[in-house]
């Protein structure tokens, strides 16, 4: 089945650091990728939709200057958490969808971000 690879799986860094997370679709082309965030004991919350070659669409309440998204190719999207603070600590999950309509989204294994 379709595979989405997310890297790194875990990051621990100091407050004020910027952190980049990569999301790759390994065996299919994804014109659209999605970034989610999940806090402990909560469900996944969609942060933004990333379209190849264009600007990302952010959900209400998500700061676009804080969470920079780049979708430069059909197989790679990156999320950069800029000047991260402890409240940005969370589980970040990317997802990609195959180009064929009605196909399911496939998810990466997530990145556990801990800001000290």
The residues of the shown chain that bind other proteins, judged by CB under 8 A, are 1, 4, 6, 32, 34, 36, 43-46, 49, 91, 93, 95, 97, 101-102, 104-110, 112
Q: Which is nearer to other proteins, 4 or 115 (CB)?
A: 4
Could you tell me the smallest distance in angstroms from the CB atom of residue 61 to other proteins? 14
54, 4 in Cβ contact below 8 A?
A: no
Residue 3, φ and ψ in degrees, nearest 5: -125, 135
Could you tell me the smallest distance in angstroms from the CB atom of residue 17 to other proteins? 23
Closest CA to 106 of 32, 55, 13, 43: 32
Q: Which is nearer to other proteins, 51 or 82 (CB)?
A: 51
Q: Which is nearer to other proteins, 45 or 68 (CB)?
A: 45
């Amino acid at each position: 089945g379709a595979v989405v690879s997310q890297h790194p799986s875990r990051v621990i860094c100091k407050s004020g650091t910027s952190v980049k997370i990569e999301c790759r679709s390994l065996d299919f082309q994804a014109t659209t990728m999605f970034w989610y965030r999940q806090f402990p004991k909560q469900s996944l919350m969609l942060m933004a939709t990333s379209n190849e070659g264009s600007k990302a669409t952010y959900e209400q309440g998500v700061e676009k200057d804080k969470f920079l998204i780049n979708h430069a190719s059909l197989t790679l999207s990156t999320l950069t958490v800029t000047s991260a603070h402890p409240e940005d600590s969370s589980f970040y999950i990317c997802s990609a969808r195959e180009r064929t309509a009605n196909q399911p989204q496939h998810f990466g294994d997530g990145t556990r971000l801990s800001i000290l």
